[in-house]
Structure 1
Amino acid sequence: MPPQPPPIQEPSFPGESELSEDERKRWLILHVALPRTIMTCDVAHGRSTEDELNDALSSLAWGSIDEEGGEWTLESPDPCLEPPHSSLITYAEYVARTYPADPTMEDKAREENIKLATEKRCCFTCAGEPGSKFRPMYDQMIKNLQHSNKALAKAFNIKKVCLKEDEVPEDPTKTEAQNIMRFGRHQILPSFWYMLIQLTKRGRRFSVVFRSFSEEQLLQAQKELQLFAQCQHPAYNGQNKTQKPPLMDGNKGSRDMRLSQAAIGRMDRMGGFLRFRDRPAVETPAEPVPEASEPQADVPEAAFRPTEYTFPPYHEAYAGLMHQIFETANTAAIVDDLAFWETHERASTAGKMLLVDRAETKVQHIFFDGNVEKEDAYCVDVRNAVNGETISLDRASNVYLHRVDFFQAVTDVEYFLKATEACELAMSKMIVEDRHAEGVVRSLSEEEQKKAAAAAAAMTPKEWLYRNIIPALLPALEACQRDRPEDPIEFIAFYMLRHSKQYSKSLKA
C-alpha cells in the first residue's frame, strides 16, 4: 500500500491562515496565582483548604433573595461562573451585601463585618447552612484531591485526608517528599501538572510565572515544583504505581522549569519597582541548559549584580522580565504587594500587575486567577506595557486574563490545558480582527488625509518630533541597547513601526 499523505489540518477559525507559524504557536507566558488557582489554601489570608473550598463554592453558587425575610436560597444545581438567570446572585455576593465593608465605615465595624462575611463563606456547605446542598460538590473536590493510589497511600502511611494545614506542620526531620505528602492529598492541583506535561510533550515554548501575595506559600510551591521537574515528586516519579512525567530540570536535553532564587522578584507598587535578587553578572542562555542537579548554582558574591526595574513607564519592567529574567530561566515568580492592594480598597488597579505588549503577536501572556470576579478584575491589574494604560476587563478576559473556575480546576485534570488553548484561540482571532480593522482605519478619506497633513504642517519641527518620534524612540533605543541586534537601524525602525499607534505620552520641550 502506498504511503498515505498526512491529513490536512483544518483551520480552527476563518482567517487563521493569515497568521504566521510563530503567531500560531506563540511563546506562552503563563502567570499563575497560587491560592484558589493551583493551590488549595491561602497562606496570606490564613485560610485552610477546608475554608477555601467552601469559599470558592460560595462564589459559584447562584440563588435568589426572599423579598420578605431577605434570606438567600440556592437555585443553581451545579457550581458555575455564570448565573443560570440574570436575577440570581452568588452567595458570596449576598454575604458581601449583608456585611458591607465600606471604606467610609468605622474601622472596628468594618473589620467585624469582614470577619463575619469570611466566616459565613467558609462554612457555606456545612450542615444547616444555605449551601448544604452543595456538600456533594465539596466532597467531590476532596475526592479529586486525595491520593486514591493504594500503593502510594501505603508507601507514605496515608490514612486520612487533612484539610487544615495548621494541624500537621512541616517536620524538619523528614524529607521534602514526606512533607509534601503529609496531608494525604495534593497541594498543587493535578490539572496544573497536566498542563506542564502536555505543553512539554507538544514541544511548545512556554514559561511560568508564579504570582503570590505570600512568600511563604510561594516557597511551598517552589519546593514541590523542583521535585516535579526532577521526576522526584512522590506522586509523579514512576514509583508506587504513579506515572512519570518528562524531565524538566535541564538534564538530558530537557528544558529547566525549576524556579531559582534569582528568578524570584518582589513587586513594590508604592515605590514603583520590581526587584529581583542579585543575578550573576555573566549570563548564559536559558536553552539549552547544561546538565546540573540544582538550578543557578552558588557563585561568589562579587559575581552578582542588582536587578531592579522601575515603573512608570512600564516598558522597563516588561522588558526586564521578558529579556533578562527569561534569558536565564524558564520559570519565575513575583511576590506581589499585598499591603498596597489592601490599602487601596482592593481595587484591581492596585492588584497583581500584568504587563502586556499588545503589538507583540508572537508572545501571549495569560494570567490565571480564581479570585477574579465576573465584572471586576479585582486583584489583577492588566496594563499595556508600552503606554501604561489599563486594559479593560472586556478586552483582557480570556485572552490575557482567565477567571479560574476552581471547582472545574480541581475536578477536571485537563482544565488548565483547555483554558490555555481557549485563550490562544481568542488571541489569534483578535490579531486577525485587529489587522482587518487597521486596514479599514488606514483607508482614510481624502479630506481626512488633508486635515492630518495640515495639522502636521502647522507644527514646528521640534513639536512634530516630540509628538510623533520621541515617545517611541526612547524605549526603542533602550530595547536596542538591551538586545544588541546585528542591525540596530532596522531593529529600531521595526520597533517604532510596531508601536507607533500605542504611545500616548506627550513630552514637553
Structure 2
Amino acid sequence: MELLPADQDTESAEAVSSQRISKIPTALNRKQSKLIVHFDLNNTLQLFDTVTRQGPRSALSSFLTTVTWGQINQEGKWEWMSLEPSLNPPCDGAVSYYSQFGKLLDFTDTADGSLFKKIFTDHLQQMEWTDPHNDLLSVTGEDGKEYHRILPAFFELIDCLLSQNREFAIVFRTFGADLSRALKTTEVTLSGQHPQYQHLQMKHLPLTMVPGKIRCNKKDVVLTLGSERISIKSDPKALYHYFSSLEGIVGFQDHFDWWARNSFSSHGGKPFWIDPSETGIQHIFIDDNIRLNDAESIICAQMFVDGGSETRIVPTAELEDVCLVRTDLLKAIHDRNYFIKCVEQCEENYNNYTALL
C-alpha cells in the first residue's frame, strides 16, 4: 500500500508548515486489509508521562537518554560514539546513556547532554501549542508554555485512514491512568474543535468513551469494558477476535503490576495476538518501550499456530516493523506523517512475512 506519494521524502516533510502538511492522497490500498493499531500513550502519542509525572520538557529530555550512545573509555570517562540520536546502537560496544546513568530529567542541561541541546530545543518548539488555551487539547509544561496534548501525527493517521475509506480501529493501551483524558481529547478533535483539524468533524468515527481494563495472571487474561467481560480461559482466541472486531477508537488500561511481577520483561507485558492465517486483518502495536531484548520489552506477542488456538511466544526481533514498532519520539514530533509511514511499512513487511510462513 502507498499512503504517501512515492516522491515525498524526509526533506520534503521537513519543509512542511508546522500547522498542516499537504493533503494526503486518496489512493486506496489494493489489499484493503482491516487495520487494528494498538497505541501506547505516554511518550508515544503524548509528550509527557503521567506514570512518572514527567512534563513535556522532562519527558523529552529523558527520552533522549535512551537514544544517545557512547561508552566508558579507558580513562574511565564517558565518550560519545555518535552525535545522532537513534533507536539502536550505531556500532558495536555502544550503550545508551540511559543504561549507563539512568533517565536524567535535565539531560541536555548537563555537560554530557549539552551536545544535544539544539535537538531538544527544536523538537520541544515543534510541540508548542500556539492556538488559544484549551485544557483538553493542550498541556501546560514545566516552563509555563502550552504544548499539544496529543501529537498531531496521530490525527494525521486518522485523517489518512478515513480519507482512504480504510476499515480500521485504534486501541489505546496504557499502564497509566490517563485514558479518560486521551479519549476526551480525541472526542473534542473529532467534533471539529481542534483548530488544525476542524475538517475531521465531517467524518464519522465510532468512539467509546468508557475506558476498559486488561488484567493478567498465570492462567488467564481478562478484558472488561462496562458490562462486557471477555476471558481467554475457555477460548484462547476470544480477545484476538474481540480486538479484530472493533471499529473506531477504544482504550484499555493494561496490567502494570503483572509486568512488574514479571521483572518488566515481555513475558508479563501487554498481551498482543496475531494470526497470520487470517489474511484480511493486521494488528500493529506502537509503543516507545518495545525493545529487541525481550527481557526489557513491554509487549507479550503471541502468534496462533496454523490458524488454530495454540500459540507460540514470538520474539520481538521477529516482529520488528512487521507488527511491533518502537516509537521514535523525535521523528513522531518532527514528521506529521510518521505514524502513516509506520503503518505503511508494517503492511508491506507483514505481507512479506506471512508469505514466508
Q: Could you state the TM-score of these two structures normalised by the residue count of structure 2?
A: 0.83
Deviation at 1:161, TM superposition (A): 8.4
Corresponding position: 1:322 with 2:244: yes
1:358-377 aligned within 5 A: 358-376=276-294
Corresponding position: 1:132 with 2:145: no
Do the aligned partners of 2:37 and 2:286 also contact (CA within 8 Å) in 1? yes
Give the equivalent residue in structure 2 for 1:400: 323
* 1:419 aligns with one of 319, 342, 346: 342
Structure 1 pair 431/24, CA: closer, same or farther in 2 (3 Å)? Answer: farther
Do the aligned partners of 1:23 and 1:361 also contact (CA within 8 Å) in 2? no
The Cα RMSD (Å) is 2.7
Give the aligned length: 324
Paired with 2:287 and 2:340, the residues of 1 have a C-alpha distance of 14
Corresponding position: 1:163 with 2:111: no
Give the equivalent residue in structure 2 for 1:274: 222
Residue 424 of structure 1 aligns with an amino acid whose one-letter code is E
Give the equivalent residue in structure 1 for 2:12: none
Deviation at 1:156, TM superposition (A): 6.7
Structure 1 pair 161/330, CA: closer, same or farther in 2 (3 Å)? Answer: closer
Corresponding position: 1:122 with 2:105: yes
1:48-87 aligned within 5 A: 48-69=55-76, 71-87=77-93
Deviation at 1:203, TM superposition (A): 1.2
Give the equivalent residue in structure 2 for 1:213: 175
Residue 247 of structure 1 aligns with an amino acid whose one-letter code is M
Deviation at 1:332, TM superposition (A): 1.8
User: Residue 230 of structure 2 aligns to a residue in which SS?
Assistant: strand
Paired with 2:129 and 2:254, the residues of 1 have a C-alpha distance of 32
Do the aligned partners of 1:146 and 1:161 also contact (CA within 8 Å) in 2? no
Deviation at 1:32, TM superposition (A): 0.3
1:297-344 Cα shifts (integer Å, max 9, x gaps): xxxxxxxxx433234753122123333xx2xx4222221000111121
Corresponding position: 1:226 with 2:145: no
Paired with 2:87 and 2:208, the residues of 1 have a C-alpha distance of 32
Task: Name the one with the larger helix percent.
Answer: 1
Do the aligned partners of 1:355 and 1:384 also contact (CA within 8 Å) in 2? yes
Structure 1 pair 245/135, CA: closer, same or farther in 2 (3 Å)? Answer: same
**Unmatched segments (≥5 aa) in structure 1:** 1-9, 11-20, 96-116, 169-182, 238-243, 249-253, 280-305, 435-509
Q: Which has the higher contact order (CA 8 A, sep 6+)?
A: 2
Deviation at 1:23, TM superposition (A): 7.7
1:31-50 Cα shifts (integer Å, max 9, x gaps): 00001111111112322222
Q: Could you state the TM-score of these two structures normalised by the residue count of structure 1?
A: 0.59
1:302-381 aligned within 5 A: 306-311=228-233, 314-323=236-245, 326=246, 329-376=247-294, 378-381=297-300
Give the equivalent residue in structure 1 for 2:209: 260
Paired with 2:30 and 2:160, the residues of 1 have a C-alpha distance of 20
Paired with 2:282 and 2:223, the residues of 1 have a C-alpha distance of 23
1:179-190 aligned within 5 A: 184-190=146-152
Paired with 1:43 and 1:147, the residues of 2 have a C-alpha distance of 19
1:114-156 Cα shifts (integer Å, max 9, x gaps): xxx34xx22221143x1111111111111110134xxx24x77
Paired with 1:184 and 1:236, the residues of 2 have a C-alpha distance of 18
**Unmatched segments (≥5 aa) in structure 2:** 1-5, 7-27
Residue 245 of structure 1 aligns with an amino acid whose one-letter code is L
User: Residue 77 of structure 1 aligns to a residue in which SS?
Assistant: coil
Larger Rg: 1
Deviation at 1:221, TM superposition (A): 0.5
Q: Which sits farther off after the overlay, 223-232 or 386-395?
A: 386-395
Paired with 2:213 and 2:139, the residues of 1 have a C-alpha distance of 34
Give me the identity figure in percent: 23
Task: Name the one with the larger strand percent.
Answer: 2
Do the aligned partners of 2:172 and 2:179 also contact (CA within 8 Å) in 1? yes
User: Residue 171 of structure 2 aligns to a residue in which SS?
Assistant: strand
